[in-house]
Amino acid sequence: MRPAGHAYHALNRAIGKALHAYDMIRDGDRILVGLSGGSDSLALLWMLAERRRRVRVRFELAAAHIDLGFADRAGLGLEEFCRQLGVPLRVEMTDFGVQGHSPSNRENPCFLCARLRRQRLFEVADGLGCATLALGHTQDDLIETLFINMLYAGEISSMRPAQPLFGGRFTIIRPLAHAGKALIDRFVREQRLPAVANPCPTSRSSRRQSVRRMLRELYGENPNIRGNIFRALHHVKTDYLLK
């Protein structure tokens, strides 16, 4: 691991805040980290591995990469990254991305691909005895998901930083929930982590990208908007919503 820098300290504070606020990690937990190969998941695994070395809470880490079947394999090079961190890596070869972009599923390829990928991660976690699945969703992802669901699904919802599923059998945690994408990208550059580009052919034209462009324009007009939206997710006045 490279020496810590300014981005490390800021990201460490953001992760610590999320871990404590939502009681994400407890002594004896076995955690599977979903490792896509992008900057968010690399930063998450690096920070959890580094944190494991210096905190009193004892927990185990493993990583899983779901290869989606595209020609450009995002998982190349992850083995060495995980080896340096001392984290075992499981690589699952699939055709989920190809299925998602098949002629019979062109309307919403992201939904099918994400559902299949999540299902496989739970299967891997179960096989490894990991009851906690850590995903690299950032504060920006939570905000964008709120708008995606409002604009395209007609509901007000987002992603919870800590979310028990299947009657408590598994728990999804999102330790980057208080960390912005810009901070994570700075950290990745600072530590020279081997992030790879998303090989998905619709990654630049998805609904999330459309919402991201809209929000970027709003943030440019008023820098307080981003923080206000995130705080609004914690202050929902249901008495003033339609029923």
| Sequence spans of domains, the chain | 7-236
Which amino acid would we find at residue 29? D
Which amino acid would we find at residue 51? R
Q: Which fold has domain 7-236?
A: Rossmann fold (3.40.50)
Long-range contacts of 154-158 (CB under 8 A, 24+ apart): 156/236, 156/241, 158/233
Residue 118: closest CA among 137, 135, 143: 135
Residue 184 CA to residue 193 CA, distance in Å, equals 11
Residue 87: closest CA among 126, 50, 124: 50
Question: Model-level pTM greater than 0.85?
Answer: yes
Tens digit of each residue's pLDDT, the chain (243 residues): 666 789 999 999 999 999 999 999 999 999 999 999 999 999 999 999 999 999 999 999 999 999 887 766 656 679 999 999 999 999 998 877 666 666 665 666 677 778 888 999 999 999 999 999 999 999 999 999 999 999 999 999 999 999 999 999 999 999 999 999 999 999 999 999 999 877 776 666 688 889 999 999 999 999 999 999 999 999 999 999 997
